[in-house]
């Protein structure tokens, strides 16, 4: 089974259209419509930036507490560090989780709309890179936690759409996904000094990786990645990748088909700061919708629990609720995630016949994609859309010219220790 992908114009992550059988005709049509809708059809809304402190589509947050209690960044209480917010077409900017203030990241020699930042494992380094389409390689800039340049280099290949360079805790290696000359995608290890490939490929080589590779570093210098519902432990210098755990109870994540093939390469993964737990995403069918949920488990794949749950009043909806890109707080107690609505409001052509096909009656865009923070040990937390869930939303502080606003983004967030430029 292969997944077909299309590039989203407003979001780095790619949308998906689902192959289907035996109901391939209407399933493929619906999947294509969902993909187009998820790529920004309708919904509108501008992107966030440090300059205007809020997306135009964000709800005004005069108070994020019941009963009109004083404003605060999050109803979850005092949170550490800062979120780095990336919106396609805008510079990456920072949001202090301490006081809700926005700050700009320093300008460097990498310029353009496709320049991004990531937080290295361990939180003591920052990586900036360019994903411009015309580049044949990937230029990188490695900075310390105060955004001072340490090193400039180029990776030996161009990272695939949605992939990010992941710097190891000791600063020696970089993980990232590239396509070779045959357009086959590989999860590679690069030398962080020269950009040369030191390890080519992984057990994901036969999978189609959607958006970011489901991989992250462990504190001891090994790394983990997921192949379908399996957890793999790997070394940056040896081809001895080994399955160390699996999730046999996860919901089936394949397309409509006679078989029960698990789909590989369709999750994101983040390792907790202490290396003891992983947060990952998993797709599952919900009627006509395909939701993406956040799960947390031990690093060996044991004791999994689902963190997110679609709103109860949307149980019959065909909208895709995509809880994406979980990120651990520096203290390992919290997860930040984005709710990206991708889908269409649909109904059967013949309400009495589910095989009659579907018709689109409305679409969603990514302009109202709230960022939420939940305790890492949460289970089945209902996070809302369109109205922001005030218990878990993140709010920008009010300024002399703007009221407080809920944070939303068409892209991703990274959680870093707060060290301002």
What does residue 354 show for φ and ψ, rounded to 5 degrees? Answer: -60, -20
278 vs 280: CA distance, rounded Å: 6
Give the model's pLDDT for residue 41: 37
Greater confidence, 344 or 20?
344
Question: Which of 36-45, 271-280, 311-320 reaches the highest mean pLDDT?
Answer: 271-280
Across the strands, what pairs with 226? 231
What does the radius of gyration of the chain's CA atoms come to, in whole angstroms? 20
Give the model's pLDDT for residue 102: 93
Q: Are 156 and 189 a contacting pair, CB within 8 Å?
A: no
Give the model's pLDDT for residue 7: 31
Give the model's pLDDT for residue 345: 56
The chain-wide mean pLDDT, for the chain, equals 78
Q: What value does the mean pLDDT take over residues 399-416?
A: 90
Picking from 185, 199, 269, 176, the residue whose alpha carbon sits closest to that of residue 229 is 269
Q: Which of 83-87, 232-236, 250-254, 324-328 has the lowest mean pLDDT?
A: 250-254
For the stretch 162-214, pLDDT in tens is 788 999 999 999 999 988 777 788 899 999 999 999 999 999 887 767 666 78
- Name residue, tokens 């080519």: 200
* Per-residue pLDDT band at 360 (split at 50, 70, 90): low
153 vs 307: CA distance, rounded Å: 38
| C-beta neighbour count of 320 within 10 angstroms | 25
103 vs 15: CA distance, rounded Å: 30
Record the tokens describing residue 344, joined without a space: 């269409």
Picking from 415, 407, 408, the residue whose alpha carbon sits closest to that of residue 101 is 407
Q: Which residues of 69-90 are buried (b: 16+ CB within 10 A; e: fewer)?
A: eebbbbbbeebbbbbbbbbbeb
Checking if the pLDDT of 304 tops 90, the result is yes
Q: Which residues of 177-207 are buried (b: 16+ CB within 10 A; e: fewer)?
A: bbbeeeeebbbbbbbbeebebbbebbbbeeb
* Per-residue pLDDT band at 258 (split at 50, 70, 90): very low
Q: What value does the mean pLDDT take over residues 65-77?
A: 73
Q: Which of 4-18, 58-72, 193-207, 223-237 has the lowest mean pLDDT?
A: 4-18
Looking at domain 4-416, which CATH architecture does it have? Answer: 6 Propeller (2.120)
Give the model's pLDDT for residue 39: 40
Q: Are 81 and 97 a contacting pair, CB within 8 Å?
A: yes
pTM, full prediction: 0.81
List all residues 6 or more positions away from 353 whose beta carbon is below 8 Å from its beta carbon: none
Record the tokens describing residue 124, joined without a space: 């003591």
* Per-residue pLDDT band at 88 (split at 50, 70, 90): confident
Q: Provide the residue ranges of all domains of the chain, joining segments of one domain with +.
A: 4-416
Q: Which of 29-38, 142-151, 308-317 has the lowest mean pLDDT?
A: 29-38
* Per-residue pLDDT band at 359 (split at 50, 70, 90): low
Greater confidence, 316 or 375?
375
Q: Are 187 and 136 a contacting pair, CB within 8 Å?
A: no
Give the model's pLDDT for residue 121: 84
Checking if the pLDDT of 57 tops 50, the result is no
Give the model's pLDDT for residue 356: 63
Greater confidence, 347 or 26?
347
């Amino acid at each position: 089974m292969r997944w077909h992908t299309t590039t989203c114009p407003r979001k780095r992550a790619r949308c998906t259209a689902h192959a289907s059988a035996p109901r391939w005709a209407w399933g493929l049509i619906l999947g294509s419509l969902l993909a187009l809708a998820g790529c920004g059809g309708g919904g509108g809304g501008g992107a966030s930036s440090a300059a205007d402190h809020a997306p135009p589509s964000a709800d005004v947050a005069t108070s994020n507490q019941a009963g009109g209690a004083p404003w605060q960044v999050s109803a979850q209480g005092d949170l550490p560090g800062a979120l780095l917010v990336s919106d396609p077409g805008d510079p990456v900017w920072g949001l202090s989780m301490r006081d809700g203030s926005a700050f700009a990241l320093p300008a460097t020699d990498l310029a353009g709309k496709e320049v991004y930042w990531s937080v290295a494992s361990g939180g003591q380094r920052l990586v900036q890179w360019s994903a411009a389409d015309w580049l044949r390689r990937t230029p990188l800039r490695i900075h310390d936690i105060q955004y001072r340049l340490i090193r400039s280099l180029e990776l030996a290949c161009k990272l695939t759409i949605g992939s990010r360079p992941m710097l190891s805790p000791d600063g020696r290696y970089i993980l990232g996904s590239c396509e070779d000359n045959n357009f086959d995608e590989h999860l590679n290890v690069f030398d962080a000094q020269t950009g040369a490939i030191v390890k080519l490929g992984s057990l994901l080589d036969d999978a189609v990786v959607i958006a970011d590779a489901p991989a992250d570093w462990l504190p001891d210098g090994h790394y983990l990645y997921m192949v379908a519902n399996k957890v793999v432990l790997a070394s940056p210098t040896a081809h001895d990748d080994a399955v160390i755990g699996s999730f046999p109870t996860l919901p089936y994540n394949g397309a409509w088909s006679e078989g029960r093939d698990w789909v590989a390469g369709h999750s994101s993964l983040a390792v907790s700061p202490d290396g003891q737990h992983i947060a990952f995403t998993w797709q599952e069918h919900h009627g006509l919708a395909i939701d993406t949920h956040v799960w947390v488990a031990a690093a060996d794949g044991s004791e999994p629990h689902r963190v997110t749950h679609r709103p109860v009043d949307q149980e019959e909806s065909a909208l895709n609720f995509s809880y994406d890109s979980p990120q651990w707080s520096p203290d390992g107690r919290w997860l930040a995630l984005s709710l990206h609505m991708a889908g269409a409001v649909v109904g059967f052509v013949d309400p009495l016949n589910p095989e009659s096909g579907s018709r689109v009656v409305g679409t969603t865009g990514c302009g109202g994609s709230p960022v939420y923070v939940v305790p890492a040990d949460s289970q089945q937390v209902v996070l809302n859309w369109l109205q922001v869930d005030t218990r878990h939303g993140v709010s920008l502080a009010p300024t002399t010219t703007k009221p407080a606003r809920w944070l939303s983004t068409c892209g991703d967030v990274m959680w870093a220790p707060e060290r301002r430029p």
